[in-house]
Amino acid sequence: MNRVTVFRPALMLSIVAILWQSVPLPTIAQRKKTRKDIPAPQTTRKHNPNLPNVVILATGGTIAGAGTSSVGTAYTAGQLPIESLLQAVPEATKVANITGEQVAQVGSQAMNDEVWLKLAKRINELAKKSDVDGFVITHGTDTQEETALFLNLTVKTDKPVVMVGAMRSATAISADGPKNLYDAIVTAASPSSKGRGVVVCMNDNLFSARDVVKVNTTNVDAFHAPNSGPIGFVLDGKVAWYSLSLRKHTTQTEFDISNVDKLPKVDILYGYSNVDPNLVDALVNDGTKGIVIAGVGNGNLYPAVEERVKAAVKKGVVVVRSSRVMSGRTTMDAETDDKVLGTIASDEFNPQKARVLLQLALLKTTDQDTIQQMFLRY
Ligand code: SIN
């Protein structure tokens, strides 16, 4: 093989990437328009009026990652644009008309409130359009469960919103991204996916955003719902649903982020033997509005930490007890008495998910009982 043959595919990919990224994305001012004027996502494909219309909102991650070796685990997340990802799944064009927007291009370790808000607002805007039937969000897997829960609590639509990622980069041998992306598009295009809240599609499985957790650092079977299992599957290009979460989501929640530009500061404190209680004070002095304790067992606190937490609550900081244990619930008034301590039990939310809900709760109230009810309702 000569040099030209080797480099031509890479050159073509770069040209497609440059062309795609040079298409100007609409500004926020342009988006403040009537429903009819909402800017449509970009497409380069021919429209088939008999197929549903799926919008891909891309944020980066390993699914868009590229490495120098196809067999190693080293790569850089968030390199390839949507158009390159779709080239690996030509079958998807038989399932839906696909348009796309690059909302961010980051590894999800860099995900932040700003992108969450941008994503949720863009979904809420596009969901009003009658020619949009469903959404796929491509995302890094590291913090996928947090973004999924944020969207599950803030998007105001019954239309399918399906999050997808990959554990192997797009340039790896046996990359899982193309199959996951195809399954996600199939799910977003299916009318049976309506009203199920935000769903995460990984490795043939469909999980409720509320329940899904990343459980492995490198394996393709990295997502589980430890307390409830998957709610469906995608096999042979068809979606099969098996259960439905009864907890409130999307259109049923009280969270309206349409005028929110910033979320309250909430931090997580890990529990372990001999933990230094000064960590609680450090967070309080840094102006945190809420603390989630990744407690031991059923959300239990080291005695010296308990004392500092009591003092922090008296100063107006809202404290949620969660657990560093992978499965089970953190229950109210068990070994730790929340009434005495002034704390809130996280129910099934792990610390990183409890943080998301507490940030949203603090937009509305600091009342302990009201926030406790939210943790039991969502
Ligand atoms: C990331 O979360 O962006 C990197 C890891 C991954 O996507 O699997």
Q: Is the CB of 169 under 6 A from ligand 1?
A: no
Residues 10-19: pLDDT tens digits? 444 444 444 4
The pLDDT value recorded for residue 60 is 95
The pLDDT value recorded for residue 16 is 44
Which of 3.40.640.10, 1.10.10.10, 3.40.50.40, 2.60.40.10 would CATH assign to domain 266-377? 3.40.50.40
Fold of domain 3-252 = Rossmann fold (3.40.50)
Mean pLDDT of 95-102: 96
> Which atom of ligand 1 is found nearest the CA of 63?
7
Is residue 69 pLDDT above 90, yes or no?
no
Pairing type for strands 161-164 and 199-202 reads: parallel
Calculated CA dihedral for residues 81, 85, 87, 92, nearest 10 degrees: -130
Is residue 27 pLDDT above 90, yes or no?
no
Q: What is d(CA 271, CA 56) in angstroms, rounded to the nearest whole number?
A: 39
Is residue 263 pLDDT above 80, yes or no?
yes
Is residue 6 pLDDT above 80, yes or no?
no
Q: Is the CB of 115 under 6 A from ligand 1?
A: no
Q: Is the CB of 67 under 6 A from ligand 1?
A: no
Q: What is d(CA 328, CA 348) in angstroms, rounded to the nearest whole number?
A: 7
> Which atom of ligand 1 is found nearest the CA of 142?
2
Is residue 102 pLDDT above 50, yes or no?
yes
The pLDDT value recorded for residue 68 is 80
Q: Is the CB of 175 under 6 A from ligand 1?
A: no
Contacts of 72 (CB under 8 A, 6+ apart): none
The pLDDT value recorded for residue 195 is 97
> Which residue of the set 27, 43, 62, 73 is catalytic?
62
Q: Which residues in the chain are classed under CATH 3.40.50.1170?
A: 3-252
> Which atom of ligand 1 is found nearest the CA of 110?
3
Paired tokens of 196: 């199920």
330 catalytic residue (yes or no): no
Pairing type for strands 344-345 and 318-323 reads: parallel
Is residue 1 pLDDT above 70, yes or no?
no
pLDDT band (50, 70, 90) for residue 43: low
Q: Which residues in the chain are classed under CATH 3.40.50.40?
A: 266-377
Is residue 9 pLDDT above 80, yes or no?
no
> What residues form DSSP beta bridges with 267?
291
Centre of ligand 1 from the C-alpha of residue 165, in Å: 8
Q: What is d(CA 118, CA 11) in angstroms, rounded to the nearest whole number?
A: 32
**Residue ID of nearest Cα to ligand 1 atom 1:** 140
The pLDDT value recorded for residue 45 is 72
pTM for this predicted structure: 0.89
Burial of 316 (0-12, 13-18, 19+ CB in 10 A): exposed
Alpha-carbon Rg for the chain, nearest whole angstrom, is 22
Between 75 and 225, whose confidence is greater?
225
